[in-house]
Structures are given as C-alpha cells and as structure tokens.
Structure 1
Amino acid sequence: MSLKVGRGAEAPPFLVMDVIAAANARAASLPAGAPGILRMEVGQPGTAAPAGAVAAAMAALQSGAPLGYTEAFGLPDLRERIARHYLEHYGLRVPAARIAVTVGASGAFPLAFLAAFDRGDRVAMAAPFYPPYANILTALGMDPVLLECGPETRFQPSLAMLEKLDPLPDGLVIASPCNPAGTMLAPEELAAIAAWCHAKGVRLISDEIYHGLSWGSVAESSAAAFSESAVIVNSFSKYWCMTGWRIGWLVLPQDLVRPVECLAQNMFISAPHVAQVAARAAMDCVEELEAKKAAYARSRSRLLEGLPQAGFDRIAAADGAFYLWCDVSHLTNDSVAFAARMLEGAGIAATPGVDFDRTRGARFLRFSYCGDEAAMAEAPARLSAWLGR
C-alpha cells in the first residue's frame, strides 16, 4: 500500500547544508597535522555570542526560575528593546505591540507568508535569492516568481522590472543587504519599491537580517520607514552572532498582528525563553559586536584583493552582509562539481551557486568570509596554488 506524500515534502534541499556535511566529513578524514578545511560555505559567524548575552543566559539558568513559555510574541522587555533599536538606528517609532519575537528568521518567514498570502498566490523575488524563501513558499502552496537580476541592477530587483510584471504578484520579497550577492538597494530605490508595493496592493516582505553589516557609503534604511504595510524580518543570527540561539523577530503592519499571533501560538507557542534573555542582553554589547564587524571588514578587504589574483576576478559589489558572489564561468560550467573538487584539492568549502539561482547558478560560487580571520586570509594563496596561478 502506498500512502500519500504531502506537497510540502516536495521542497528542494537547501544545498549548503549538504556542503556543510561534506566539509565535516572531509575534515574528519584528514590525517593529524594536515592543513585544516577553510570554512567559507556557511553564513555563520565564527565567533561566540557576545559575552553579555552568555552571562545573561547563565544567570537566568542559575536563578532557578522555570524559564517556561513566554507570550507568543516574546518577552515584553525584549520587544521594548527591539522597538528602541528602531528609534536609535532608523529614527522610527515602532510600537512594541507590532513586534513579534520568533524562532529565528526561519520561523518568521512561514508566519509572515501564511498571514499575508493564500495558496496559489504569486510572490516575486530577485534571483539569485536565499533558497528557503522559495522553498517555504512552495511548501505552503504558494508560487515563487523569480526575477533574473544581474550586475546591471546589482543583483537586486528594480522598479522598472516590477512594473513590467503582468499580472502583478501578490507579494515581493526583498533583502538589502542580500544573500548571496551582498549587494544593497540605495535608500531611494528601496523607498520607490516600497511605495510602489503599497500603492499596488503588493505585500512587501523585507528581509533585514544583515542590517548592521554594511561596508562603504551606502546607508541602510528599513522598509518600515517607507511603507506602513510592509513586513520586516530580522534576526539575532548575523550581526549579533547568535545563529544557534534561534531568535528572530517580525515588525508587523497592524492588520497582520493578530493573525500572526494566532499562528505563532499554534505553531511555536513561543521562542526559547533563555535565548530571549540572552538576545535582550546582546543588544547592549555594541563595542564587542563592532569589533567582530571590523574583523569581517578586514577579511573582506583581503579577499577582494587576493581572490582576483587567484583567478576569481568577477565579484559582485559587496556592499554588505559577509558574502562574495563570484562568477566562475571562465573556470567551470558546473559549480557543484567545481566546489567538490575545490574542497578536495584546496581544502576550501564554498557554496555552489545552484542553491541560489536555478538557471544561472552553475556558473557562480558564494564565499562566506565571517569565519576565523586568519583562515580567511589564507584562502587566496590556497586557491592560487590549487589553480596553478
């Protein structure tokens, strides 16, 4: 007897997780004393959570308090602290009542998608894109609409691109800075897209998980500054270095507050209590976090200088986040096989572009540079030796 398998089981894999497993296996197989694997495949800071966050978690654990369920939208003092963050960093007054603490950004997206869209709705996004956007939408019965973007638009969607869509999508997902390209929308571009979405009835979902990590002169602006109907997604995983703590948040428009709250009550009950305590403390660890950011900036600078000399000279404008999106079509037309050979031959793990772009990804690689600074500095020389440069 065969049993039905639900449509959600058809979601494609998140390939970077397979790369992580391959890199772990390769590292375990190395003989003692051999050079280690340089981990450039995953967007996970190589340092621990801020010391203040760890101390707060330890104090909470040692207090004897039960640390049970919180309200579905999280601890009130954390929500208030996030609201203060918007005032201090963006000049925005966001009521804490419109902030929902979630189980990471990964837990925020299904809540936002289920509250904002119906089965069969069409949600646009730039390609390349963060794979779970499309994979979660597909699992929920919604249809991703992929907009092929290139260096001419800095791998970001443009207003002209959106205006050509017929029929209009029901939603649009943007990310600035984005994963994998690390590019940003200029504030005026973000404002124009947000205004267009609001005027056309297209629900804007703005992924702001890499805010705090920008380089150069491009100023960050939150989509909440330009649209009262936008949904903002953020997380403590990247700037705050707390990936495994699984704490994120949503800033919701008023019409989605109660729908998201009901979904969160049923799907997650609440985010982990102790992680919420730690996240609240992390927001005050500015000096330590800025030091970590400075290390990423140094790694970025070294790689932007060294990778072209090693043969990787077609790199997207790296405005923010901690990724370099490299066109490797002059080296391969199969980035999956190329990444596997690079892991074996150079001891460097990177993510094939097919994870992020279904039609053009075979000629791209993504390097993450948020790992150990000394390891990042070593990468160009290893690649140069491997390619015989």
Structure 2
Amino acid sequence: MPVAVFIEESALSSHLAQLASRLQNIAPFHVMELAKMAAELERQGRHIIHMGIGEPDFTAAQPVIDAATRAMADGKLQYTSATGLPELRSAIAAHYQTVYGVEVDPARIIVTAGASAALLLACAALVEKDAQVLMSDPSYPCNRHFVAAFDGRAKMIASGPEHRFQLSAEMVEQNWCEQTRGVLLASPSNPTGTSIEAGELRKIVETVRSKQGFTIVDEIYNGLRYDAEPFSALSLGSDVIVINSFSKYFNMTGWRLGWLVVPPELVQPIEKLAQNLFICASSLAQHAGLACFQPEALAIYEARKAEFQRRRDYIVPALEGLGFKVPVMPDGAFYVYADCSAWSDDADQLTVDILNKAGVVIVPGLDFGPSTAHQYVRVSYATSMENLQEAVARLKAFREQHVKS
C-alpha cells in the first residue's frame, strides 16, 4: 500500500508541474496558516484566544434565521436570476437611500456569492493581461490576488500612518503609468480599520476619471464606521464601482452573500460573467438576506455595532499600555494595526511566539504588503470583551517573561 500511494503522489506531482503560471503570483494566506497552528494547539487541549481572523463573533440575527427557515419550508431554493432576487436588489437600493442619502437604481445592483465573488466579477470584466491596478500597501491580500487571477499586476504603493495607511490622489497621480487601468481601494480597510476621508476619496475618483480609468471601492466594512457620518463612494458618481457584503455588518460570513454596484453600461457584461461563473448566489441566503433590512434586524445590528466600538475603545489603549504603538486610531471595521517594534523587529516570529507561549492569535503584517511586513501586527477585536481582557493579561505576562524592553 505505501508503494502504491507513493506512485500516485509522484504522478500527481508530475501533473501539478503543469499548473498555470499565474499561480506563482498568488501567495499563501499566512492568517490561515496561523489559524491552522492554533487549531492544532486546541486539539492538544490548549485554550486559545482568537484575535486573528476577521469574523464577527455574532452570528446572523434571529429575524434572518427565521426568514431562512421559512424559505426552506416554502421550498424557495431554486436558482434565481444571475443578478439576484429583484426584491433584494430593491431592498439594498432603499438601504443606500436611507443610510447614505444616495439614490441607486436597483438595476445597477448585482447580488453575488459574497464580496469575493463581486471582486472576482469586477476584475474579470476590467483587468486584462499586464494591466496595472493601484492599491495601498498595506491592504487585504486577496484583493491583489483577484487582479493576478486575470493576469493583471497589482502595484502596491507604500501608504504609511501619515496617510492613514490609505492611498491619496497625489499617490495615484505619481504612480499612474501607461499600463495602469484603475485603482482598488478599501474604506474602511482591512487590516488597518482606517477610512479614506470623503474629500480625499473624491479627489482620487476625479484623478482616476481624468485618466479614463476605473475606481473600485471595497466597502464591506462601511456599516461599521464609528467616528464619522455615514458615507458611500456611490455619492461620487455612477462610474464608481462599489463592493459590499452581508458578512461583516450583517454577521452572515458563512452564508456567502454580497453585492456589486456598477455603472449602467457594466450591468450586462457583469451579468453575462455571473451567469457563466456562478449561475447565482445562494437562493436561501438571498431570501434570508431580505430580513436584514427589517427594522427589528437593523436595531440588533446597530446594537452590535455599538459593542464593536466599545471593544475598540478598550483594546486600543490597552495595546498602547503594553508597548504597542497605534499610530492611527481605527475608525471602522474591527481591526487595530499596531506597530510592534518595541516588542520585536520580526513580527512574523513574534506572532508565532505569542501563539505558542501566550495562547493568543494575532497576525503579522506579512500578508498585507512588504512596507509593514516586519513592523506591524493586526489585532482583531471581533471577539468578546472577556476574551479581549484575558488576551491583554496574557500578552502582559508574555512580555514580562520574554520581551526585553
């Protein structure tokens, strides 16, 4: 039996050598590697506090669960249109009007299998071989990999705390070249929890527009903004492409439901791609998602948002008290991007040591771009206040034992 297995694996290895060359441009997701290490420690009986993966500890609100139950009982499980249920698209449009004061034609809204599918569709429609897309360094790693999946090239522009870890119009102007086709922004951002100020975002859009490029804005954390009036990039013009999701504010991560708002001329091309690549988003998730916009559900989500803000207001000064530096107060999402220089000059090794010795998962800057890879760590506060307090106690003990000031 071992010999047979060896032969099969050898044959498989030979076959895998023919994989598409674009895979060389897609790096492993180190956040998930740490999660696997943590899972192994838990199997050994260790108690681990997870502050790594960006997933709300809240699950779908009860009205959403009830709606899913009714949809199953009523047999509403057939394919929908590739663009999504008309009533869900209308509910999303009404939400933009109510919360952001932006009127959006429901026909411009395409319901997708999560924000990942929305980004995939946008890149499939807009990114050609060797096309360059500008994005900030640091930024969510999968965004640059969506570009690479269509043989484009993400140009990562170092964006430090003086720029809130975000691109500026000046950076876009200075880095635009003949191969550049557009920008991919995220506001609020993963990993930093920082937003692009509305006036600066307007300048970026105007700069890109003057070059006849595209602007994609990832707004999946936009419902979780704490320190400013609600704002969506959709207010900057119908040519701005916006991505959103039911995963973060609406706490529906595993339901895989999101949406994409596109210019009118992109609706048909995106629909054609969606028909071929996905057929449609989960019909069950779509019927459940309708309940997210009910007043009862929205009241629950606003209470949960307030709890996330309470956690942020605890964890940021707590981390600073431990010697981390938080150069920009996160104004959204549920992340803190912290300078760990006072602890170590190797954030990657530091996070492994903290996991093994303190039983706390935080992740290094390695995933998010080279400019902050060794100096920063991302801390997620998408866990209970009790866990946050225990994690701070463990980190304090770890530092006293293992880190020289």
TM-score normalised per structure 1: 0.95
Match of 1:184 among 185, 195, 206: 195
Contact 1:329 1:363 survives alignment (8 Å): yes
Runs of 4+ in 1 over 6 A off after TM superposition: none
Match of 1:130 in 2: 140
- 1:351 maps to which of 363, 366, 376: 363
Q: Aligned residue for 1:29?
A: 44
Distance 1:166 1:102, change over 3 A: closer
- Cα shift readout 1:96-132 (whole Å, capped 9, x = no counterpart): 1110000000111110011122121100000000000
Shift of 1:275: 0.4
Which residue of structure 1 aligns with residue 20 of structure 2?
Answer: 6
Offset at residue 42 of structure 1 (A): 0.8
1:110 aligns with 2:120: yes
Gaps of 5+ in 2: 1-13
Do 2:323 and 2:342's aligned partners in 1 also have CA atoms closer than 8 Å? no
- Whole-Å separation in 2 of the counterparts to 1:117 and 1:244: 28
Larger Rg: 2
Aligned pair partner of 2:104 in 72, 78, 94:
94
Does the C-alpha gap of structure 1 residues 89 and 159 become closer, same or farther in structure 2, counting only changes over 3 Å?
same
The answer on whether the counterparts of 1:42 and 1:368 sit within 8 Å (CA) in structure 2 is: yes
Return the alpha-carbon distance in structure 2 between the equivalents of residues 22 and 227 of structure 1: 45
- Report the residue type matching 1:341 in the other structure: D
Q: Confirm or deny: 8 A CA contact 1:158 1:193 kept in the other structure.
A: yes
Q: Which residue of 1 aligns with 2:33?
A: 18
> Which residue of 2 is the match for residue 326 of structure 1?
338
**What SS is found at the alignment partner of 2:374?**
helix
Match in the other structure for 2:69: 58
Q: Is the 8 A contact 1:314 1:328 kept in 2?
A: no
Question: Aligned to 1:294, what secondary structure does the other structure show?
Answer: helix
SS in 1 for 2:154: strand
The answer to whether 1:144 aligns with 2:148 is no
Residue in 1 aligned with 2:129?
119
- What are the residue-to-residue correspondences of 1:1-389 with 2, within 5 Å? 4-10=18-24, 11-30=26-45, 36-63=47-74, 65-167=75-177, 169-216=180-227, 218-284=228-294, 285-388=297-400
Identify the structure with the greater helix proportion: 2
Q: Secondary structure at the match of 1:249?
A: strand
Q: For the residues of structure 2 that align with 1:59 and 1:125, how far apart are their CA atoms?
A: 42
Query: Quick one: distance in 2 between partners of 1:296 and 1:256?
Result: 36
Aligned to 2:8: none
2:350 partner letter? F
Q: Does the aligned pair in 1 maintain the 2:137–2:371 contact within 8 Å? A: no
Deviations 1:317-353 (A, max 9, x none): 2111110001112222222211111011111101111
The answer to whether the 8 A contact 1:7-1:139 is kept is: no
CA distance in 1: counterparts of 2:322 and 2:201, whole angstroms: 35
1:239 is paired with a residue of what secondary structure? coil
Whole-angstrom distance in 2 between the partners of 1:184 and 1:20: 27
Shift of 1:228: 2.1
* Conserved 8 A contact 2:99-2:230: no
Residue-by-residue CA offset, 1:61-119 (whole Å, 9 max, x unaligned): 122x1511100011111000001011111111111111000000011111001112212
Structure 1 residue identity aligned to 2:41 = R
Matched pairs, number: 383
Could you say if the C-alpha distance between residues 315 and 379 of structure 1 is closer, same or farther in structure 2, counting changes exceeding 3 Å? farther
Paired residue type of 2:59? A
Once the 2 structures are TM-superposed, how far is the Cα of residue 311 of structure 1 from its aligned partner?
1.8
* 1:254-304 alpha-carbon deviations (Å, 9 max, x no partner): 121111000000000000000011111012211111111111111111111
Q: Is the 8 A contact 2:71 2:287 kept in 1?
A: yes
Aligned partner letter, 1:42 = I
Q: Give the superposition deviation at 1:357.
A: 1.4
Question: Shift of the alpha carbon at 1:166?
Answer: 4.3
Matched residues in 2 for 1:305 and 1:82: separation? 36
Partners of 1:57 and 1:134 in 2: CA distance: 34
Preserved contact between residue 119 and residue 142 of structure 1 (Cα < 8 Å): yes
Q: Secondary structure at the match of 1:340?
A: helix
Q: Is the 8 Å Cα contact of residues 76 and 284 (structure 2) preserved in structure 1?
A: no
TM-score normalised by the chain length of structure 2: 0.91
Q: What SS class does the counterpart of residue 125 from structure 1 fall into?
A: strand
CA contact (8 A) 2:326 2:336 kept: no
Moved more, 328-337 or 345-354: 328-337
Query: Deviation at 1:315?
Result: 4.2
Cα distance in 1, alignment partners of residues 213 and 222 from structure 2:
23
The 1-side partners of 2:320 and 2:283 are apart by 46
3-state SS in 1 of match to 2:175? coil
How far is 1:26 from its partner? 1.4
> RMSD across aligned C-alpha pairs, in angstroms?
1.5
Amino acid at match of 1:325: Y
